[in-house]
């Protein structure tokens, strides 16, 4: 009999700002096992952080910090030319802020996942990756580092002895090098629910994706991400969870010992 599979399903949330509401965080939390909360630099604000943390604790999902470049106008998706020392500082600042909100509510921070352009830069730039990993290590060695599967961020986290989680994306396409297709490309995102589910299944069962050039690429995946700001994000999350479970794939957050 085939052994049941388990995967962590994560989602980027807490992206509202002031009077502007983005996504349906409360509903999304019903279908994922961990959330990455914006820390105010690329999205979110103090009140949104507190409310999102409170909702996550109510739903019993693992809470992660989602630090990004200080770029509200560009939603953190524009690369900024700042030094590794500054990247260390802004990462430590943002994680610390969210950690404070979580602990004030009686919870504990579970993981850290960089956002947008910072995430993509850390996937290939060793100095940036090392600065992010070092900020996490200095704040709390027990935190799990979420990064693009097989990326420099993962390898730098391992060097420091951090527990890592290799991440895959169900709604993003991949290059033949295993990198995410840049959002500037027209085929960067997967809009078909059927294709997104097919990619999720291939990631979990085979540890592979099919690149935009048609090649199969190995990706070691411990957690898969769905985005919470799409028009049909909640409906997709509900469908994905149902179909994964129908295929005997269980959804659970990653424990600090690496199990689910």
pLDDT, tens digit, 9 for 90 and up, residues 120-150: 999 999 999 999 999 999 999 999 999 999 9
Per residue in 202-254, pLDDT (tens digit) is 999 999 999 999 999 999 999 999 987 777 889 999 999 999 999 999 999 99
What does the alpha-carbon distance between residue 46 and residue 207 come to, in Å, rounded to a whole number? 38
Per residue in 18-71, pLDDT (tens digit) is 989 998 999 999 999 999 999 999 999 999 999 999 999 999 999 999 999 999
Per-residue pLDDT at 183: 84
- Residue 29 tokens, joined: 């939390």
pTM above 0.85, yes or no: yes
- The closest alpha carbon to 196, from 209, 184, 214, 178, belongs to 209
For the chain, list the domains and their CATH numbers: 5-169+221-229 (3.20.20.370)
- The closest alpha carbon to 226, from 211, 241, 215, belongs to 241
Q: Specify whether the CB–CB gap between 169 and 224 falls below 8 A.
A: yes
State the helix-helix crossing angle for 46-59 and 84-104, rounded to 10 degrees. Answer: 60
* Mean pLDDT of all residues in 152-174: 96
Per residue in 100-123, pLDDT (tens digit) is 999 999 999 999 999 999 999 999
Band of residue 4 on the pLDDT scale cut at 50, 70, 90: low
**Which residue is it, tokens 């500054």?**
86
Per-residue pLDDT at 1: 40
**Which residue is it, tokens 């050039």?**
213
């Amino acid at each position: 009999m085939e052994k049941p599979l388990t995967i962590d399903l994560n989602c980027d949330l807490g992206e509202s700002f002031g009077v502007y509401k983005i996504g349906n965080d409360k509903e999304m939390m019903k279908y994922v096992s961990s959330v990455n909360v914006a820390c105010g630099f690329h999205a979110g604000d103090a009140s949104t952080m507190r409310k999102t943390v409170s909702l996550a604790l109510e739903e019993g999902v693992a809470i992660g910090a989602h630090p990004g470049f200080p770029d509200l106008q560009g939603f953190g998706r524009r690369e900024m030319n700042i030094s590794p020392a500054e990247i260390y500082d802004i990462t430590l600042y943002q994680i610390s802020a969210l950690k404070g909100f979580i602990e004030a509510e009686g919870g504990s921070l579970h993981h850290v996942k960089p956002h947008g352009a910072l995430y993509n830069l850390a996937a290939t730039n060793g100095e940036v990756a090392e600065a992010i990993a070092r900020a996490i290590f200095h704040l709390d060695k027990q935190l799990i580092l979420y990064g693009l599967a097989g990326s420099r961020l993962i390898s730098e986290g391992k060097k420091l002895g951090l527990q890592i989680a290799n991440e895959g994306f169900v709604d993003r396409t991949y290059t033949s090098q295993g990198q995410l297709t840049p959002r500037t490309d027209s085929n960067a995102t997967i809009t078909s629910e059927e294709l997104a589910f097919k990619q999720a299944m291939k990631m979990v069962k085979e540890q592979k994706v099919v690149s935009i050039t048609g090649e199969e690429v190995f990706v070691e995946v411990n957690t898969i991400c769905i985005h919470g700001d799409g028009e049909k994000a909640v409906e997709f999350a509900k469908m994905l969870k149902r179909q994964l479970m129908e295929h005997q794939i269980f959804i659970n957050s990653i424990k600090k010992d690496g199990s689910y």
